[in-house]
Amino acid sequence: LVAKVKPDDPNIAGIRVGQNAPGVVRLVVDLKQAAMPQVFTLPPVAAYRHRLVFDLYPAAPVDPLEALIAERL
């Protein structure tokens, strides 16, 4: 999982996983900018078991003009 984060990913700086207490696993996603998370679970389906899903949305809406200028620089 950690190796799948590309250095040029615009949102994720890194991912860390550890066990901070017996029976507890902590997953930390280091972000390059603020984000609004949406977290939910999905039940087992076909070959997939129970899943925990993290969707990350920009904390502030992207200004299309700023994005265009940044793209041109």
Q: Is the pTM of this model over 0.85?
A: no
- Using pLDDT thresholds of 50, 70 and 90, give the confidence band for residue 55: very high
Q: Is the pLDDT of residue 52 over 80?
A: yes
Domain range for 14: 2-72
Token pair in block for residue 17: 């996983």
Cβ(50)–Cβ(44) under 8 Å? yes
Cα–Cα dist 16/12, whole Å: 11
CATH of the domain at 18: 2.60.40.3500
Cα–Cα dist 61/59, whole Å: 7
pLDDT at 72: 84
Q: Is the pLDDT of residue 4 over 90?
A: no
Closest Cα partner for 25 from 17, 15, 13, 33?
17
Cα–Cα dist 65/61, whole Å: 12
How many independent structural domains does the chain possess? 1
Cα–Cα dist 30/12, whole Å: 6
pLDDT at 70: 80
Q: Is the pLDDT of residue 69 over 90?
A: no
